[in-house]
Amino acid sequence: MQLGTRRLLDRAFSGLGITSILLLGASLLVILAPIVVRGLGAFVFGGTIEHRRLMLEKFGRGDRAQLDAQIAAAKRARQPVYDMIAAFEKELPRLDPARRRELRTSLKELEERIAILLEPAPGTSDPVLWRDQYGQTRWDRAQVKAHDVLFAEQYDYTDPTQMGKKVWVPRAKEFEGTCLAALFPYVQDNLDAMLKPRTTFYWRFLLDKSHDAHFFGGVGPEVLGTLYLAIGSMLFAIPMGVISAVYLVEYASEGRLVSTLRTFINTLAGVPSIVFALFGLAFFINAMHVSESKSVLAGSLTLGLLVLPIVIRASEEAIRAVPQSYREAALSLGAGKGRTVLTVILPAALPGVFTGIVISMGRAAGETAPIIFTAAVSMGNPLGLVETLSQPTPALPWNIYNLCTEHEAVDEIRHVQFGMVLTLVTLVLLLNGAAIVARARISKRLRA
Amino acid sequence: MSATVDVPLGRRIRPSRRPVVVGGTKHHVEAEAFSVFYGPKQAVCEVSLGIRAGHVTAIIGPSGCGKSTLLRAINRMNDLIPGCRTEGKLMLDGEDVCDPWIDVTSLRRRVGMVFQKPNPFPKSVYDNVAYGARIHGLRSRRRLTEIVERSLRRAALWDEVKDRLRLNALGLSGGQQQRLCIARAIAIEPEILLMDEPTSALDPQATTRIEDLIGELRGDYTVIIVTHNMQQAARISDFTAFLYEGDLIEFGPTMQMFTSPTERRTEDYISGRFG
């Protein structure tokens, strides 16, 4: 081949390699950037006076005297709204009957919207759910709800060949000519004064338990549950995996049995996680009765089983890579086989074993399917250590799925969903980061 | 298995059944019609010889002649190789080391070994030397430190590493690593020191230091050294055994071997005509 052609091929090859790596990086960025940006919305957001009121009344956080002054100011700003409604109710009987009936329905709807935006109207009975007791706590949601106050949702069916088209009709037009017409410009102009948004840093999102179906509060139990499951699964997978790998490399004589075993292990690594989940349910819970029903223990066992092939394979490779001369040296000094494994081979193989642990820990923390049947519930309190033996736990991966698909008000809690995703990604990165740092330190100690 | 083997040059060599006795009467290691097989292949053929205590014995011969196999049989390192078996007797102080019931661990404690390539553990210098003592149950820090210092001094390495005992042994030079391996081997106070081409991976300067060290160890240890290097055998050994294709061709005092060998093959090999 010509030298020029060869150079060109070389260059084309490295160009291809760099391009694919860049593509990978770009796609990661495309996925991660929105997650980070929107996920941060769970921690940093415009919190309204309602948020501060909720924090004070339900969590006991904040300065009561200062808040009382703010609430009083907000109440003053809101008073004209209620005054205008009261005036309109007096005006209503004087209108002609057809319009009266129509406007009475519209008023009811308007009052509901205002209650959602601000808070239940003074004098109405106390609602049960937290979400009904307070107005909008987040400024971004408040603007959406303010839009609902100003505009009514209607469908345009004029074109019979098309599906009904959604149009927003200003309510001000509906109430034209009544004393309520002044309410809409007032709400539009004074939203700020009525809700007093302020940039809020809610770091306790990580620790608080959720309230009212994740409408309020944080993801504390989910974070704890995920940690329990990731660490618990490692408690099973690491000893079993490393011991299996030691057996396969150091003790088992190469034969049909061992090669069959190895094939099984490789096959297990490819089994879908939902199959492991069913196995966990059938074996650990129904057959072995490790717990009455779902529990962290059963979930950890199932996850441990799921990542076991990864741990075995990584450890096997690492142990195989330990130079034979180390074994000979240890044996020639009178060490037995077990002693050689414990004092020389495993320490030398530790970085490689750690790699397997890193990968499998990330996998265990993020797996959803296995814990659906064995460990996860959508709501719960943070568990104590002893309770993990018998109690199920909320966990980030399962709750992300749950909140995005099965929640009664998916749209209202987008920030929680993204916050959870961000928390999970960060958690996995942190776990991996810690393991990588540990691995690097061990490697450095092993090398000169 | 036939006791005779065809060799080129048309001569039949009949290995002696009677141990070759050289010098004094106390034999530390004694082989009687000792053979080693790798599966169907015979690597050592009915070798009989007696190795005297406190002397340096060199085993020479061309590549693949079974000298390493013979050496590794003495501390049972051949056990690591699947399909390896032995015939005949290999006695250490009158005890057969090939007996499957002997305690291999205590055998290896009596028979230390230094390998072709320096193979320190990826641990600190201190931990390397203390390894043997530790696995044999010594826990006292003071005793361990004593042993480490004494062994390193004995291996002529102390002055070079005394300030870096806690650093990784892999940071030492090749020659230092090999002396560290010798220190590690003598730290458990073996009676015999097996050396499998200990200088073949080292530069001439490091080789000289190791050879000097072997000279110093003479008398305290029975040293058996396998070497490719004839000059080295001549320089450092008291006795030399010449192996060819698994057979022991000649065994005797080194001076005699190198000046007036009785076998023609020995002469040919020593003078560099083959091998």
Any bridge partners for residue A296, and if so which? none
In this predicted structure, the answer to whether residue B5 has a pLDDT above a threshold of 50 is no
Task: State pLDDT tens for residues B33-83.
Answer: 999 999 899 999 999 999 988 899 999 998 888 899 999 999 999 888 888
Confidence of residue B10 (pLDDT cuts 50, 70, 90): very low
Q: Return contacts of B62-65, CB within 8 angstroms, 24+ apart.
A: B62/B244, B62/B269, B62/B274, B62/B275, B63/B228, B64/B245, B65/B243, B65/B244, B65/B245, B65/B246
So where are chain B's domains?
5-270
Task: State pLDDT tens for residues A51-68.
Answer: 999 999 999 998 999 999
Closest-CA distance, B225 to chain A, in angstroms, reads 15
Closest-CA distance, A14 to chain B, in angstroms, reads 35
In this predicted structure, the answer to whether residue B4 has a pLDDT above a threshold of 70 is no
Confidence of residue A448 (pLDDT cuts 50, 70, 90): low
In this predicted structure, the answer to whether residue A374 has a pLDDT above a threshold of 90 is yes
In this predicted structure, the answer to whether residue A284 has a pLDDT above a threshold of 70 is yes
So where are chain A's domains?
49-198, 220-446
Question: Considering CB atoms only, which of B108, B136, B170 is closest to A331?
Answer: B108
Per-residue model confidence (pLDDT) at position A16: 95
CA distance A152 to A170: 6
Tell me, yes or no, if B122 comes closer than 8 A to chain A by beta carbon.
yes
Per-residue model confidence (pLDDT) at position A420: 94
B115 and A329 in contact by Cβ < 8 A?
yes
In this predicted structure, the answer to whether residue B3 has a pLDDT above a threshold of 50 is no
Q: What is the mean pLDDT of residues A131-143?
A: 92
Mean pLDDT, chain A, rounded, equals 91
Tell me, yes or no, if A346 comes closer than 8 A to chain B by beta carbon.
no
Q: What is the mean pLDDT of residues B208-229?
A: 90
A333 and B112 in contact by Cβ < 8 A?
yes
Task: State pLDDT tens for residues A386-415.
Answer: 998 999 999 999 999 999 998 888 888 999
Question: Considering CB atoms only, which of A331, A344, A447 is closest to B121?
Answer: A344
Report the candidate in B49, B58, B53 with the shortest Cα–Cα distance to residue B222: B53
Query: Within the 234-293 window of chain A, which residues sit less than 8 Å (CB to CB) from chain B?
Result: 253
CATH class held by domain B5-270: alpha beta
Query: Within the 162-181 window of chain B, which residues sit less than 8 Å (CB to CB) from chain A?
Result: 168, 170-171, 181
Closest-CA distance, B18 to chain A, in angstroms, reads 30
Report the candidate in A413, A411, A61 with the shortest Cα–Cα distance to residue A215: A413
A331 and B80 in contact by Cβ < 8 A?
yes
Strand residues in A193-312 grouped as ranges (E): 198-201, 210-211, 216-217
In this predicted structure, the answer to whether residue B21 has a pLDDT above a threshold of 60 is no
Percent of chain B residues topping a pLDDT of 90: 55
Q: What is the mean pLDDT of residues A207-214?
A: 90
Neighbours of B173 (CB within 10 A): 14
In this predicted structure, the answer to whether residue B13 has a pLDDT above a threshold of 70 is no
CA distance B123 to A91: 92
Q: Report, at the CATH architecture level, how domain A220-446 is classified.
A: Orthogonal Bundle (1.10)
Confidence of residue A378 (pLDDT cuts 50, 70, 90): confident
Tell me, yes or no, if B11 comes closer than 8 A to chain A by beta carbon.
no
Closest-CA distance, A314 to chain B, in angstroms, reads 20
In this predicted structure, the answer to whether residue A17 has a pLDDT above a threshold of 90 is yes
Per-residue model confidence (pLDDT) at position B275: 57
Provide, for chain B, the percentages of residues in helix, strand and coil under a 3-state DSSP scheme, each rounded to the nearest 5: 35, 30, 35
In this predicted structure, the answer to whether residue B229 has a pLDDT above a threshold of 90 is no
Closest-CA distance, B265 to chain A, in angstroms, reads 34
A325 and B119 in contact by Cβ < 8 A?
yes
A448 and B120 in contact by Cβ < 8 A?
no
Any bridge partners for residue A169, and if so which? A152
Task: State pLDDT tens for residues A296-339.
Answer: 999 999 999 999 999 999 999 999 999 999 999 999 998 989 99
Interface test with chain A among B105, B110, B151, by most A beta carbons within 10 Å: B105
Q: Which two tokens stand for residue B234?
A: 């001549």
B131 CB neighbours in chain A (<8 A) are 330, 333, 335, 343
In this predicted structure, the answer to whether residue A213 has a pLDDT above a threshold of 90 is no
Nearest CA in chain B to A333: B132
Number of H helices, E strands in chain A: 18, 6
Question: Considering CB atoms only, which of B75, B105, B119 is closest to A326?
Answer: B119
B105 CB neighbours in chain A (<8 A) are 334-336
